Amino acid sequence: MKILDFLFYYLVKWFKKRQQKFKRIDPIEKTCYGLGITALLWLMCFDMVIEYFVLKSFKSIIPNYIFVIVALFFMWLFKYIYITKERDKDVLETNEDGFNVSEKTGITISIIFVFLSLLIPMALAFLLHKIDGSS
Give backbone dihedrals phi and psi of 112, rounded to 5 degrees, phi first. Answer: -65, -40
Cα 113 from Cα 133, distance rounded (Å): 30
pTM of the predicted structure, to 2 decimals: 0.84
Per-residue pLDDT of the chain (135 residues; tens, 9 = 90+): 888 999 999 999 999 888 877 677 889 999 999 999 999 999 988 888 888 888 877 777 888 899 899 999 999 999 999 999 999 988 888 876 668 888 899 999 999 999 999 999 889 888 887 876 665
Report the distance separating Cα 103 and Cα 9, nearest Å. Answer: 10
Beta strand ranges found along 3-116 (DSSP E)? none
The closest of 97, 98, 126, 111 to 18, measured between CA atoms, is 111
Residue 38 is predicted with a pLDDT of 93
Residue 22: the pLDDT is: 67
**Would you state the pLDDT for residue 72?**
94
Q: Which residue range is the domain that position 7 belongs to?
A: 2-134
Number of domains in the chain: 1
Please provide residue 19's backbone torsions phi and psi, each rounded to the nearest 5 degrees: -65, -30
